[in-house]
Amino acid sequence: MSVLAAVIRAGETPPIGAGMVPRTEAHLYADGLSRLVAFRVTDGPAFERIDGAYAPDLGDRPAYPVTDLLLAVPALRSLSSVGQRLDALSTKAEANYGRDFAAMVFTTAVEWGSDGYGRLFEARSQLEAHPFDGEITVTLTPAATDEQARALRSNLERIDGPTRVYAQSDEAADEQR
């Protein structure tokens, strides 16, 4: 049985007021192999499943579970100050290797040496080095392992934009930056 470990939401800050206009929600499951299942959030709101699943290597130093999600979904790439550059890298990867970033991430072919990895690595660096104009929240459930929580928090620290982590604890506090 799949156990929900974390929920990642990414979207835009509304022009007036507070909160988030979500564009994507991803569920991180913890049942031996961590995997992300993502959904587009459309007006309504309604959820549309994004084909495939992503099994990030959370033991990597650094791990890129959130960065790769942002790169795989064009609506989220566009929230980066270098969104057009990221789109161009995804298009080049598809032209040269037959796979854009969405195909790479959601077929879990993002390991070093795989076709198009260089383009993805460059895009990761670009996204993390420039302002992200969207908003990202991560909600950790009690099922989240230390490795999962550490990888998600570490990845959020490298993103230059508003991020927040909610974690259940005895004090029910949240972290914000």
pTM: 0.89
The single-letter code of the amino acid at 8 is I
**Do residues 135 and 11 touch, judged by C-beta distance below 8 A?**
yes
- Give the per-residue pLDDT at 170: 43
Distance (Å, whole) CA 5 – CA 83: 29
Q: pLDDT at residue 175 above 60?
A: no
Q: What is the pLDDT of residues 115-127, one digit of tens each?
A: 777 888 899 999 9
Task: Give the mean model confidence (pLDDT) for residues 34-61.
Answer: 89
Q: List % helix, strand, coil for the chain (3-state, nearest 5).
A: 35, 30, 40
Q: What is the pLDDT of residues 61-95, one digit of tens each?
A: 899 999 999 999 999 999 999 999 999 999 999 99
Q: Output the furthest CA–CA distance in the chain (Å, rounded).
A: 51
**Do residues 157 and 175 touch, judged by C-beta distance below 8 A?**
no
Q: Which alpha helices (DSSP H) does the chain contain, by range?
A: 65-72, 74-77, 83-97, 101-106, 117-129, 146-157
